[in-house]
Each structure stands twice: as structure tokens, then as C-alpha cells.
Amino acid sequence: MSALSQVRYKVRDALRRDRTFNHTIIESDAYLQGTHSVHPNELDVSHGPVLYLEDISVSFDGFQALNNLSLYIDDGELRCIIGPNGAGKTTMMDVITGKTHPDSGQVFFGQTMDLSQMAEHDIATAGIGRKFQKPTIFPEHSVWENLELAMKTDKGVWHSLFTVLSAEQKDRIEEVIEIIGLQALYFSKADLLSHGQKQWLEIGMLLMQDPRVLLVDEPVAGMTHQEMDRTAELLTSLAGKHSVVVVEHDMDFVRSIANQVTVLHEGSVLAEGTMEEVQNNQKVIEVYLGE
Amino acid sequence: MLLNYLFPHFMHEDTGGKWLISLLIAITLLVVMFNFFIPESSALHIPTYMVTLLGKYLCLALLAIALDLVWGYCGILSLGHGAFFALGGYAMGMYLMRQIGDRGVYGNAELPDFMVFLNWHELPWYWQGFEYFSFTALMIILVPGLLAYVFGWMTFRSRVTGVYLSIMTQALTYALLLAFFRNEMGLGGNNGLTDFKDILGFSLQADGTRIILFTLSALALISGYIASRFIVQSKLGKTVVAIRDAELRTRFIGYKVEDYKLWIFVFSAMLAGIAGALYVPQVGIINPGEFSPLNSIELAIWVAIGGRGTLFGAVIGALLVNYAKTYFTGALPEFWLFALGTLFIVSTLYLPQGIVGLFSQFTNKQQKQSAKHGALQEETT
Ligand SMILES: Nc1ncnc2c1ncn2[C@@H]1O[C@H](COP(=O)(O)OP(=O)(O)OP(=O)(O)O)[C@@H](O)[C@H]1O
Ligand SMILES: [Mg+2]
């Protein structure tokens, strides 16, 4: 089979509309020195931030869910986002992942990728993974299969029809199962997991995708304190290699992981800074922490 | 299990499927033997009309598998799958019409009787090529596939789901019903295509041809089953189930959901087309009635009664309900629709998993055991 798919890929490459022929490549100095050659489909974080949200507005039937929101997430940073219910945190993630199209403003992934022009699956493939607020897993599939499906690999239809897990891929799944602590539940149906375990499984699915940016919406809802500590550990360990954006209501949890906190209120940024700075911010105390 | 040596690896866990296929092979062999080698005078002789009736059931079972793929596995309740079946049937019907040659009532070597009757003078362009069996075989797959592709491309891309999609599939088959009723379509209008004589030069009335058609139907059902099992066991199949259960999640881990839905929908339509093509020479007629929305709804009922998302459940449902239908329409014709309705209500209320759900306790135990077994294997390798 692999021979056949190889042929298929060769043909596909040859017929690509944006195929580059050797003679069309401009041998500029920059190209030759290898200083700055950026493919439009490659992530470019040379300016620091990996995610740019600028003046984003979203309204639902006249209700302004996001209001000129501007936010920058640096490459490798761990950022916590807090804010009262309805502040627009989930909507912000919807905008980044292509679920909701902003009425105005710009969303960029690195310098080059305009997320508002990309479909959900392209955004996911480009390297933005997302955990939903309500844990969403594949209930009829086993833990193993859930992770298998999320794995970073060719997700085309024909590839899926004939692919078989390689030894490396199996190792990777096992590795992640260990990280999320579900070893004992390899083959149980995901539907049967507890709420906390589902949260973990969904985080595991994120890890399988090996994304550059992880958007994690309320990861510790329904978790015990022990589980929370482990989640905190996991998320902090991920930062650096990945950028992690965590939305969370649990203040203790936020305190335990955050160095940078952004407070959203009524669809725009109210304050930004360390947990301490934010906690002492008068406006924040008024709308959120004080209550 | 010894049986495993006879089946491909992706069927090893499919106990129901292994039983089903073994039974099908056994029954096919027995039916052929009892029809062919036992003299007609004997009580054990199976008359040819019965063989043909069984052949019909097998085609309908294949159609049920096709629907189960999209409904049971992908969650797309198509209430227009009869259309793909009918299109495959019409393609075969056109070939059979061309095979009649000048033996029609009007003795026109080129034109089928109904065209002569309508005072047509030449064969419409879309009838060209149907004199060749190979071309016809291609069309049997391509025409339903193409329709499914166009329909699926438009609806899945605009993310139409659920009831709305079901209604649109009903509209699709209804529109085709109306179109095929028209004489101007050049496909026999109201009467459809009938009075077939030969297939590949063999008389359709001959016992031998009928037995071969029956055997081919059994083969098509078995291969269709195995192919479908391969698909649902593959990662593609798992993805399709994932789409059924959590479409958004699937999208956000990087799958282009529309592509998957389209693929399974087109494959299913092709399978339905093959079923229709094998059905028509056995019943000897294809008319617009096959496009009737009721047919497609009945099809969904077979699958629901048999049990969705198992493949063999669809086969069991199709065989049982159609057997019951034959019996009732013979014995108590006015009761059939009531019986079907009752069956449907009882099965949705008390057997949400269909007939195969009854055995699920048994298979669950088995699955757990094999899962354990799998885990052990996983560890040792
Ligand atoms: N699809 C939608 N249609 C209409 N209104 C919506 C939609 N999605 C979100 N909203 C509204 O937009 C506002 C922001 O919602 P969002 O889910 O982003 O808040 P949130 O900050 O995530 O809140 P929570 O902490 O409760 O999760 C809410 O008032 C919500 O009712
Ligand atoms: Mg939210």
C-alpha cells in the first residue's frame, strides 16, 4: 500500500497549483544566507508573539461578545485568562480556532498565517489545539482510540483508510496515556470515564496533536485537588516548548500556575500583568475579584 | 477460534459477521444444491421462484448495509437511499432493454418498445453505451456515486445535518420519482423498463441464469459486507464514528469532516447501486416506484429493527422484515403496513439497539475478554 500512496503523493505534488519549480525560486541574498526565508504556510515567530489578536469584535444578534479585543501571546509562554461569566473567554477561543468569524479585527498565527481565512481543520493542523469548556471526547471509542484519532499525522481520507499504527506511534500513544495517568483504562470506552478523567483524556488528545499553541478552556472543572495539582504540573511543564493559554475560574489554580494573567471583562482586556499586579488593580477588584 | 483462519484479520473480532458469512455461504450452497440436483418431484426440491425470491432479499440486505454505513456509523440518516438503489437498477435495466434487440413487440433492433410507441426515431444520447455490459457495470457504480457526490458536496459543505439533511434526502428521491415518471425522460415513464429477455446472452427465464444471479447476489452481499467491515475497522471508520458522536471535536483535531462524510456517503451510494443492479434482473422490472420516498423510509426501518452500527444487524433486519413482508402481503395484505408500523414502534421502544441488541450482553462479555487479550498482546509486543 505504501508504494501506492507514495505514487499518489508524488502525483499530487506534481499537480499542485502552488508547485515551486527550481527555476522560479529567486536566489536572493537572504535566501542564500538562510536568514529569512518564510513560507506562507510556515509558522514565523521571529517577532516574539505566536498569536496576535488585534481589535477583534464579535457580536451575536447585537450583543457585543468581544469588543475591540487585542491580545498577544508570546511563543512558549503560559498565559492565564480570567474573567467573569460571559466575559468572552470562550468566544475568544472560538475566534482563534476558526469556529467564529470576527466582525472586525485581525487574528494571526505567527507573522504570516491569517486565521480568519482558514478552516477549522487547517488551523488545527497548523498547530493550534483546543480543549473545550465542556469535556468533549469520543464516547464510543476507547481511551486508546481517542488518542489514536488525535495523533498528529496525515488526516486525509484515503490515508486513514489504509494506515496502520507504526511502532513509534504506539509508543507515543503509550507515552501520553502515562502522562494523563489512564494506563489502567487503555481499552475502556471513553464514555465510562469520570468527569475528571474525561478532562485528562481531552488534554491527552491535545498532546497527541503536538500543537504549537494549546488553548485550554477550564481544564480543572470537576477535578479533585489532587488531580488539579497534577494538571497544574502538566501545564507548566508544557510551557516553553508550547504556548499554553488557560482559561480558568479557579483562582487557586490560576495562582499556582500563572506568571502572566489577562483579565477579560465585557469582551475586552481589563488588565494584564502578574497575578499580584492584577489582584491589586482597582478596576479588577471592582468587577471581579472583589465580589 | 478456528474460524479466524478463514477470515481476514479485520474480521477477527466481528463474531456476528463471521457467523453471518458462514451461514450465507452454507445457505447459498444448500439452495443451489436443492434446486439443481434434487428432482422437482421430490419434496426437498427448492423451486426456482424461491431461489429468485431469496436472491431479491440478499440484494435488499446489501442495500441495508449501505444505509447502515452512513446512518449507523456516520449518523447521517439518509431517507433517500432508495434513489441510489433505483439508479443502479435503471442502469442495469437499460442494458437489459438493449439486450432485447429486435425481439420486442415492434421488432425495432435499435429502439426499445416504449420509444417506438412514443414515435421516437433515434436513441437518446444517454442510452449510448448501454449495449455493452462493461460500460453498464461502470455506470451502475458511477451514476449513483456521482449523484451522491454532488448532493453530498453541496449539503455537507454547508454543514446541513440532522433532520434537515434527512428531509433533503427525501426531497431528492421524490424529485427523481417525479422526473422518472415523465415519458420525456426516455426511461419508460410510468411503466419503467421491463420485458427483459437476456443478460449477457443468457436467457433470464432459464433456471441456470436465475441460480447464477442468486449466487452473484450472495457473493455481492458477502463482499460488500467484508469491504464495509474493512472500512469501519480502519481509522477512516473510527473517524466517521467520531464525527457521528462529536463532530466539532473531530474538526478541531484536524479532520476535514466534509471529506469523510462525502467519502462514506459516495461509497454507500455505490453499494446501493450495485444492489439495485442485481435486484432488477431477478424481479424483471424497474419502474419509478423504486424512487418512492416510502421505500427509503422502509429501508431505514429494516436497519433500525436489525440494529444500527453493526452491519450484520442491518442484514438481519432486511432479511427478517422482507420475509415478513412477503408473508403478510400474501396472507393478510391489508395488515402489512400496520405490522411494519407496530414492529417499528416496538423495536424503538423496547429494542433501541435492534434485534442484535438482544445479543449485546453476550457479545459485550466477549469484547471485554478480547480487549483484555488485546491489552496483553499490546504489552508483550
Ligand atoms: N453562539 C452564540 N450566540 C449568541 N450568543 C452567544 C454565543 N456564544 C456566546 N454568546 C454570548 O457571548 C457572551 C460571551 O460568551 P463566552 O462563552 O465567550 O463567555 P465566557 O467568558 O467563556 O463565560 P464562561 O466563564 O461562563 O464560560 C455570553 O453572554 C454568551 O451568552
Ligand atoms: Mg467559557
Kindly report, residue by residue over A241-269, the tens digit of the pLDDT: 899 999 998 888 998 887 889 999 999 99
Cβ within 8 Å, pair B255-A141 = no
Question: Is the pLDDT score of B381 beyond 90?
Answer: no
Measured in Å, residue A86 CA sits from the centre of ligand 2 at 7
Q: CA nearest A182: which of A130, A127, A131, A145?
A: A145
Unique residue bearing C-alpha cell 427448492 = B46
Query: B255 and A155: CB-CB below 8 Å?
Result: yes
Q: How far is the CA of B209 from the centre of ligand 2 (A)?
A: 66
Which residue of chain B is at minimal alpha-carbon distance from A171? B378
Residues B71-130: tens digit of each pLDDT: 999 999 999 999 999 999 999 999 999 999 889 888 888 899 999 999 999 999 999 999
Cβ separation of B241 and A141 shorter than 8 Å? yes
Establish if B366 belongs to a structural domain.
Answer: no
In a domain, B72, yes or no: yes
* ipTM (interface predicted TM): 0.87
Atom of ligand 1 nearest to the CA of A94: 18
Classify the C-alpha dihedral B132-B134-B138-B140 as positive or negative. Answer: positive
* Residue A10, pLDDT score: 66
**Average confidence score pLDDT of chain B:** 91
Measure CA of the first residue to CA of the last residue in chain B; give whole Å: 21
Spatial distance between the Cα atoms of A115 and A106, rounded to a whole number of angstroms: 8
B250/A155 Cβ within 8 A: no
| B254/A136 CB distance under 8 A | no
Residues of A in contact with B378 (CB under 8 A): 170, 186
Is B358 among the domain residues?
A: no
User: Structurally, how many domains does chain B consist of?
Assistant: 1
Measured in Å, residue A90 CA sits from the centre of ligand 1 at: 7
Of B241, B250, B254, the CB nearest to A140: B241
**Of all residues in chain B, what percent carry a pLDDT higher than 90?**
73
> Considering only CB atoms, which chain B residues are within 8 Å of A124?
251-254
State the pLDDT at residue A169.
Answer: 95
Does the pLDDT of residue A205 top 90, yes or no? Answer: yes
pLDDT exceeds 50 at position B272: yes
| Neighboring chain A residues of B242 at a CB cutoff of 8 Å | 138, 141, 149
Looking at ligand 1, which residue's alpha carbon is closest to its atom 29? Answer: A86
Q: Distance from the CA of A97 to the center of ligand 2, in angstroms?
A: 14
Give the N- to C-terminal CA distance of chain A in Å, as an integer: 62
Most confident of A153-157, B1-5, B361-365: A153-157
Stretch B312-327: mean pLDDT: 94
User: Nearest Cβ partner of B249 from A138, A157, A161?
Assistant: A138
Question: Residue B245: its chain A contacts at CB < 8 A?
Answer: 138-141
Check whether B163 has a pLDDT greater than 60.
yes
Q: Kindly state the cell numbers that stand for B354.
A: 435492534
- For the record, the C-alpha cell of B183 comes out as 415519458
Q: Which residues line ligand 1 (CB under 6 A)?
A: A 60, 63, 65, 83, 85-91, 133
pLDDT of residue B335: 87
Residue B71 lies in a domain: yes
Ligand nearest to the CA of A61: 1
pLDDT at A111 (0 to 100): 85
- Measured CA to CA in angstroms, residue B342 lies from A52, B320, B321, B346, B349 at distances of 60, 14, 12, 6, 10
Cell of B366: 466477549
* CA pair distance A45, A30, nearest whole angstrom: 17
Among A17-21, A126-130, B6-10, B315-319, the least confident range: A17-21
CB contact under 8 A, B235 and A149: yes
Distance from CA of A165 to the nearest CA of B (A): 9
Note the ligand closest to the C-alpha atom of A266.
Answer: 1
- Please write the tens of the pLDDT for every residue from A39-92: 556 777 777 789 999 999 999 998 999 999 999 999 999 999 998 888 999 999
Query: Which residue from A56, A90, A101, A251 has its CB within 8 A of the most atoms of ligand 1, so it is best to mutate?
Result: A90
Tell me how crowded residue A10 is: count the other CB atoms within 10 A of its CB: 10
Task: Give A213-229 pLDDT, tens digit per residue.
Answer: 999 999 988 888 888 89
Domain carrying residue B325 = 2-350
Q: Over A63-106, what HEC string results?
A: EEEEEEEEEEEECCCEEEEECCCCCCHHHHHHHHCCCCCCCEEE
Distance of CA A89 from the midpoint of ligand 1 (Å): 8
- Choose the residue to mutate in A85, A269, A287 for probing ligand 1, maximizing ligand atoms within 8 Å of C-beta: A85
Give B235's contacts in chain A (Cβ within 8 Å).
148-149, 160-161, 163
**DSSP string spanning B163-199?**
HHHHHHHHHHHHHHHHHHHSGGGSS-GGG-EE---EE
* Residue among B116, B129, B366, B236 at smallest CA distance from A163: B236
| Distance from the alpha carbon of residue A260 to the mean position of ligand 1, in angstroms | 23
Q: E strands, chain A, where? A: 49-60, 63-74, 78-82, 104-109, 113-114, 128-131, 213-217, 243-247, 260-265, 268-273
Instruction: State the ligand closest to the CA atom of A132.
Output: 2
- CB nearest to B236's CB, from A148, A152, A157: A157
Higher pLDDT, B54 or A49: B54
Spell out which residues of chain B touch residue A140, defining contact as CB-CB under 8 Å.
241, 245
Q: Which residues contact B14 (CB under 8 A, 6 or more apart)?
A: B229, B311, B312
Selected residue of A128, A157, A191 to mutate for chain B interface (largest B Cβ count, 10 A):
A157
* Residue pair B159/B251 in contact by the 8 Å Cβ criterion: no
- pLDDT computed for residue B248 by the predictor: 93
Closest alpha carbon within chain A to B241: A140
- A138·B375 Cβ contact <8 A: no
**Given this model, what pLDDT does residue B159 score?**
93
Kindly determine whether residue B253 and residue A205, on different chains, have CB atoms separated by under 8 Å.
yes
Residue B363, pLDDT score = 58
Closest-lying ligand 1 atom to the alpha carbon of residue A84 = 25
C-alpha–C-alpha distance, residues B17 and A105, integer Å: 55
pLDDT score of B169 more than 80? yes
- 3-state secondary structure (DSSP) of residue A55: strand
Cα separation, B123 vs B197, in Å, equals 19
* Closest chain B residue to A204, measured at CA: B253
Of residues B257 and B330, the one with the higher pLDDT is B257
pLDDT value for B209? 94
Q: Give the global pTM.
A: 0.89
- Partner-chain residue, chosen from A97, A124, A149, that has the shortest CB–CB distance to B242: A149
Atom of ligand 1 nearest to the CA of A267: 14
Q: Which ligand 1 atom is the nearest neighbour of the CA of A83?
A: 21
The predicted pLDDT at position B362 comes to 63
Coil/strand/helix, residue B257? helix
Q: How far apart are CA B189 and CA B186, in angstroms?
A: 7
Residue nearest ligand 1's atom 11 by CA: A65
Chains A, B: CB contacts within 8 A come to 85
pLDDT of residue B69: 97
Residue A30: the pLDDT is: 41
Residue B36 has what pLDDT? 82
Task: Find chain A residues with C-beta within 8 A of B227's C-beta.
Answer: none
Residue B369 inside a domain? The answer is: no
- By alpha-carbon position, which residue is closest to atom 22 of ligand 1? A90
Distance (Å, whole) CA B306 – CA B317? 4
CATH domain A3-127+211-289 topology = Rossmann fold (3.40.50)
